[in-house]
Structure 1
């Protein structure tokens, strides 16, 4: 549904607060812009303003996204990369974002997830139990070689 808005300045203010509330990627801001009946020149003017005033910064978005998804949702690098690509983030910014994840913390989190999942699975068959843990960690987006190494150490 298109929203009726009085002026370009009003839309610009709304999008500024949209970006200030939480780091946004270009795709989210462009989608939000589509909600308003604006001519392409006005949309470009607003996007340019947001970029120049640093309301919209893809590198900052990618870094905070990677940190947040890893720390809060315990996602692995594969899933974070996939989600960032889905949001049309550049390869350079994805690489930069993944540097934000501390390697020791990453491995520690993987071990914690294996232990937690191991205690939750009631499966008696060792192979089935291992498969369930591996599937869970693959879904979370951890690298398969790291998963197998960790699971084999613990089980």
Structure 2
């Protein structure tokens, strides 16, 4: 990954987060926004996991990551200008294929409970909600209403 790729990955992730309608206005204060923007900027530099990008005309337009548990998709972000074109689905299918090839029985991911577009995508890809509750978001520094989702591979 080139330095410019890391910048693009951070920028795409932050743009997708900022355009999302899932977060309450109380989370959109300047301190939270600055914290989230910083987290996206440093993620490609500090992750110990794998990042996979989607490109159109040599431009990074989306990315997905595996960090933490081997069957956990930690991130899936598509720039708002490119959403609805199958990019998120293609990234998710790729990540699930890698996890299946490793012989793991399930794929897990989490998202904000009001992120209806992402939840619809995940459900269309075979995921089901296995938990719904409040969790503290380290990247935002606030408690969030989240869902944990899972897909059986075998």
Same fold (TM over 0.5): no
Larger Rg: 1
**TM score, norm. by length of structure 1:** 0.27
Give the helix-richer structure, 1 or 2: 1
